[in-house]
Chain A
Amino acid sequence: MVSIAEPVVKPAPRYRFLLDRRDVLGGVLVAPAILYVLLLVGLPFLLAVYYSVSAYTIYDPSWRFVGLSNFRQIVQNPVFQDTLANTFLFTFGSQFLGLVLGKFGALLLLRQFPGRKIVRALIILPWAVPIALATVAWEWMFDSLYSVINWSLISLGVITRSDAPNWLGNPHLAMLCVIVVNAWRFFPFAIVIFLAGMTSIPQDVIDAATVDGAGFWRRNYQIVLPMILPIVAVGLIFGIVFTFTDLSVVFLLTKGGPVNATSVLGFEGFQVGIVSGDVSHGAAISLFMLPVLFFVVIGMLHFIRRREI
């Protein structure tokens, strides 16, 4: 063994190895993404809040502060009240329908059968294909004169040509149409979310429950459901956010009509803020989405955190 001489202590280089420090390099690597998001999401968001309390229009781009008067005017407007009610009906109607269809479809796809891959590929289509394009196809299917749905109903003798419904022209039917189209677009997503949840449950847990004497329903509701809840909740949160704030389906199918029967928040914000150029009122309308988004974000955080445990 060799004895150690007192070491010659050299001064530590201060900056030469700066990028070799994890914290420094980590900051450098994450900075572009954060800057992008801050500049083009954070800043516009603050701008939206400011617009909503100003008198800004594209014809008179003044930054004059008007307090909450925009909000007051909006809330007193009966069209807006309808819009708000429509938005909730649209969101929860299509989410409910989508979840029911999704759960049922997932049960079907859980079983292995020949051609399952092809069936899955076909069932995914409504969610994969750009919603604007699919909506245009639905618009054509709901056509007042050449509707394939009406043609089928007439051929089956359910209705006659004279009382064939004008799907997008009747206020109640139009609402039903936008809900159905949105549920149609959402339920394949619900299916894959349910499937992901169910296939992630280890088989031995199910087996243990079976050995312990749990029947089909007990297994389903006391074992499977609680275990897939986090994943389903995350999926549902996505569905709610994107439906509640949607614009495309309504814009393309009904333009909010007839007579505002299908107007929703996103559409109304677009009409007022972009089409009419009344930016401040449009921004105020859009901001009504915030409370719902806020609760959704809380829920999301809750379920994301849970996966750590």
Chain B
Amino acid sequence: MRRAVLNAASDGAFYGAVAIFVVLTAFPFYWMLITSLKSNPDLYNVANTPFWFNETPTLEHFRYLFEQTLFARWLLNSLIIGLCVVAITLAAAVPAGYSLARMTGRNGEALGIGIFLTYLVPPTLLFLPLSRVVASLGLQNSMWSLVLVYPTFTIPFCTWLLMGFFKAMPVEIEEAAIVDGCSLFGAFVRMVLPLSIPAILTVVIFTFTLTLQEFVYALTFISTSAQKPVTLGVATDLVRGDIFFWGEIMAGALIASIPVAIAYNLFLDRFISGITGGAVK
């Protein structure tokens, strides 16, 4: 009997702790959601209970966002930037990851670590020279500057991720293909690529989310509103003078957050093993 009570108490404490964590992490997003659906008189009244609707919920903020702001354009910009960066990243990182994984001796390992370390070079160290490079290419204030610069961190990261994947792939399959009459490159195209579709898909998803998450380069290179990606646009361009349009800002933040949140949850495990590079075997 006492044991049962103790168990119930410890279960209660456990679920209580879980609940606190969930509230801590998810509340800001709940806050986005509820703010985006509240009417302005409801939002800007300190007497109202902020956690729930005091007046009828409204889609007014979403309507305003799409009709009166450049939000749709920012979404499109982000999509274009994301797709182009994905294409560049795949073209460079898939062959590089394969090459490094199959390179014999210590050269491949050292080169791989070297490429990965460039992922750790922070944007705040490079944005000054890169803004000059971008300007000299005539790309300042253009989203194409981001297409050019984002691969500097997506290529290293994805090369590392793919290198780990290719290393785990049995070499015998390629070697069999080589003996069966393929060239080295033919074996790569006909055996390695079809068998690494899951890994390539992961890379596509993560490249895309990394471009959506990026803020520093976008902030540095682009000041024209119509060229901004969605993250930058929502965070900086929905302010009129000193007035924040909180309903619209939260609506925009919510829309841009949802796809990234879903992608992360689906591919989390691959991401972790990529980052830690099998630090524990």
Contacts and interface: CB of A to CB of B under 8 A. Distances in A.
Touch A–B, Cβ below 8 Å: yes
Given A131-B213, A252-B235, A30 B125 contact: no
A27 B108 CA distance: 10
Contacts of A287: 125
Nearest to B254: A133
A180 to B, nearest CB: 10
Given A40-B149, A41-B126, A125-B25, A130 B213 contact: yes
Interface stretch (A44-52, A78-86, A171-179, A206-214): A44-52
B25 A188 contact: yes
B275 interface: yes
Contacts of A300: 117, 120
Contact of B95 (A20, A30, A192): A30
B111 interface: yes
A104 B212 CA distance: 29
B261 A36 contact: no
Contacts of B123: 245, 247
A139 to B, nearest CB: 8
Contacts of B51: 148
Interface in B89-103: 91-93, 95-96, 98-100, 102-103
A42 B130 CA distance: 11
Given A124-B264, A283-B129, A234 B279 contact: yes
Nearest to A246: B124
B169 interface: no
Contacts of B279: 230-231, 233-234, 303-304, 306-307
Interface in A28-46: 29-30, 32-34, 36-37, 40-45
A141 B50 CA distance: 11
Interface in A172-199: 184, 188, 192-193, 196-197
B124 A269 contact: yes
Interface stretch (B29-37, B56-64, B194-202): B29-37
B184 to A, nearest CB: 5
Contacts of B250: 136-137, 140
Contact of B184 (A20, A141, A231, A286): A20
Contact of A105 (B21, B44, B131, B188): B21
A105 B26 CA distance: 14
Contacts of A301: 113, 117
Interface in B19-51: 21-22, 24-26, 28-29, 31-32, 35, 43-44, 46, 50-51
A282 B128 contact: yes
Q: Is the interface of B mostly helix, strand, loop or mixed?
A: helix
B253 A137 contact: yes
Contact of B152 (A41, A101, A265): A41
Contact of B183 (A19, A132, A228): A19
Nearest to A191: B21
Interface string A94-131: 00000001001100100101000001111111111111
B126 A45 contact: yes
Interface string B235-273: 100000000101001101100110011011100100011
Given A22-B184, A136-B253, A238 B275 contact: yes
Contact of A128 (B50, B126, B252, B264): B264
Contact of A37 (B35, B118, B188): B118
A136 B235 contact: yes
Given A122-B22, A274-B131, A45 B121 contact: yes
Contacts of A246: 124
Contact of B122 (A121, A289, A307): A289
Per CB-CB distance, the 4 closest pairs between chain A and chain B, nearest first, are A245-B122, A128-B264, A33-B96, A266-B124
Given A30-B100, A51-B128, A245-B125, 14 more contacts: A22-B102, A32-B95, A36-B152, A37-B155, A41-B126, A113-B14, A119-B21, A128-B264, A135-B235, A137-B29, A184-B24, A184-B25, A247-B216, A286-B124
Interface of A: 19-22, 25-27, 29-30, 32-34, 36-37, 40-45, 47-48, 51, 101, 104-105, 108, 111, 113, 119-138, 140-141, 143, 145-146, 148, 151, 161, 184, 188, 192-193, 196-197, 200-201, 227-228, 230-231, 233-235, 237-238, 241-242, 244-248, 251-252, 265-266, 269-270, 273-274, 279, 282-283, 286-287, 289-290, 293, 296-297, 300-301, 303-304, 306-308
15 contacts: A45-B126, A47-B133, A48-B128, A105-B21, A122-B26, A123-B26, A124-B261, A126-B28, A130-B257, A132-B215, A134-B28, A196-B276, A234-B277, A241-B120, A248-B219
Interface of B: 14-15, 17-18, 21-22, 24-26, 28-29, 31-32, 35, 43-44, 46, 50-51, 88, 91-93, 95-96, 98-100, 102-104, 108-109, 111, 113, 115-118, 120-133, 148-149, 151-152, 155-156, 159, 183-185, 188, 209, 212-213, 215-216, 219-220, 231-232, 234-235, 244, 246, 249-250, 252-253, 256-257, 260-261, 263-265, 268, 272-273, 275-281
